[in-house]
Structure 1
């Protein structure tokens, strides 16, 4: 058995174990240790995980109870058969990738509240992680893949026509060759904004009845589940949406409730809007993302709102 196949078989066994009842904290610790032991462990596991989740989504579309039945069948099957079938689905990884040292980079990154981080990738691309973001990367000689599990990231992708750069954000896949764009994920809601170049946004869980939309400079796509809308925005508005890269939040006639939600992504001290009329007030301007107190003072001065600072929250009311 090749080294690549052996690694994929172990990864498949881990995924099968996670589906069983009784998965414990000790089991998770053991899995984490195996993943951290080698970069190829992470890549094999992530590829299988993504492939299986896609199968589950397609099965669920066909029948709401199909995915649970699939898991039950896997539990009931002789495990080597299930493992072999799963490994066969991932042979595209290629044994050559694993057998030659230095051909891959597999890492995961996360940022805490209010923290931003710039991550260089092995192919020359660069990723900027916004607050409360978790990102996994797998860059090989043949492929370039990223999984955005939560949060927001800005990508500057090095051009390489032979290796499309693919971002997986839930059921959505964003594919590019070389461009600058951002992806924000909150559960199954995904937003893509393009600063430069062209990106294709597809849904892995739905059949491609029509070609997936291609976004160009100034375009934004907002998706919730299988639904997606593409809006042609000005380059200036897209730049405002990315002002977080400079530590600034920019609002253009946003409700105070939405503005408070944005501030709360960056700060442990939370803004609380006390009543409906105050929540629906419209505001505009640019503000320091990590200075809740200054924002509250401006609201008090400009609109005469009441501000109550408890130390843990800032309550805004009329």
Structure 2
């Protein structure tokens, strides 16, 4: 089997796994890693993915001669042989000019990371600026007609250089965020995506659905935020204060407004290797507000002890908070 056939085989297997519906964050991470491994992998995957829509048309033409390796890969993942043949034929017919054209532009992505407790400034080649929050990973690539960012993990703030000829697109899980020139942040927590716009206007698109239903589209402007979970997107009322709170991390701060202690602890844990553990439901459900220094988790714990009378145990491996010994909260 040639290298091209092996690549097509693997690309076909990935596409069928996604179409079968049993798809996890771990699967997405593995696919992203495979795509990032080489330009050939990207070419095979995206050519085959785009050919999916043409499969029925190609099959109607009576094309039967297709490489056996990709056909086996498709059949192995439950695809009927007839459709498998048309799908792979669509790939090989469509891929010939793409793979053989020496002048075709190559999409090379650069990876940028911020570790635990770190913030990192990134200057992109197009003149745009990115700030990465703790535990964040992005990949950036641009061509003469497009600028793409993949937010693989965490949170990033973007100041986009205006260029109407080249849309700036952030891919985050099941959403894409498209802008021309603006200042905004995107946060990804597994399948949940949050977008806060400081200036300008962005469009949030749901990725195309497997069942053919129309994908949702939401547009928000400066002072607005949107939170997407599954097929739903919630847009907040215009509130500059809410957006500023969401971007407090850029100044090294965490801002909470009637946030449960359990959620506040989880947010602090993004910035530290030593976790905050809330050990009982009574303490976990307490709602707190205020602005706290992200790097000083011990000060946060002491404030909880002083303000709510909570029991705080500070140890080298963890900070434990409970309502132990507290008669009233």
TM-score (norm 1): 0.75
State yes or no: 1:304 paired with 2:309. yes
CA gap of 1:313–1:51, structure 2 versus 1, over 3 A, is: farther
2:172 corresponds to = 169
State yes or no: 1:85 paired with 2:90. yes
2:228 corresponds to = 223
Question: Is the 1:191–1:221 Cα contact (8 Å) retained in structure 2?
Answer: yes
Question: Is the 2:128–2:159 Cα contact (8 Å) retained in structure 1?
Answer: yes
Q: What is the CA–CA distance in structure 1 between the aligned matches of 2:86 and 2:314, rounded to whole Å?
A: 61
1:256 corresponds to = 261
2:271 corresponds to = 266
The alignment partner of 2:236 has SS state of strand
Question: Is the 1:35–1:41 Cα contact (8 Å) retained in structure 2?
Answer: no
Deviation at 1:19, TM superposition (A): 7.7
CA gap of 1:100–1:118, structure 2 versus 1, over 3 A, is: farther
Q: What is the CA–CA distance in structure 1 between the aligned matches of 2:242 and 2:145, rounded to whole Å?
A: 35
CA gap of 1:254–1:49, structure 2 versus 1, over 3 A, is: farther
Deviation at 1:301, TM superposition (A): 2.0
1:94-105 equivalence runs, <5 A: 99=103, 105=108
The alignment partner of 1:99 has SS state of coil
Question: Is the 1:54–1:205 Cα contact (8 Å) retained in structure 2?
Answer: no
Deviation at 1:112, TM superposition (A): 2.3
Q: What is the CA–CA distance in structure 1 between the aligned matches of 2:163 and 2:97, rounded to whole Å?
A: 19
2:79 corresponds to = 73
Gaps of at least 5 residues in structure 2 are: 18-29, 55-73, 324-329
Question: What's the CA shift string for 1:142-161, capped at 9, x where partnerless?
Answer: 11111212211111111111
1:84-233 equivalence runs, <5 A: 85-86=90-91, 99=103, 105-206=108-209, 209=214, 212-233=217-238
Question: Is the 1:9–1:87 Cα contact (8 Å) retained in structure 2?
Answer: no
CA gap of 1:87–1:276, structure 2 versus 1, over 3 A, is: farther
Q: What is the CA–CA distance in structure 2 between the aligned matches of 1:178 and 1:127, rounded to whole Å?
A: 13
Deviation at 1:8, TM superposition (A): 8.8
Question: What's the CA shift string for 1:118-138, capped at 9, x where partnerless?
Answer: 222111112212112222222
The alignment partner of 2:270 has SS state of helix
Task: State the superposition RMSD in angstroms.
Answer: 4.1
Number of aligned positions between the proteins: 289
Deviation at 1:279, TM superposition (A): 1.3
Deviation at 1:34, TM superposition (A): 9.5
1:59 corresponds to = none
Q: What is the CA–CA distance in structure 1 between the aligned matches of 2:245 and 2:96, rounded to whole Å?
A: 43
1:293 to 270, 295, 298: 298
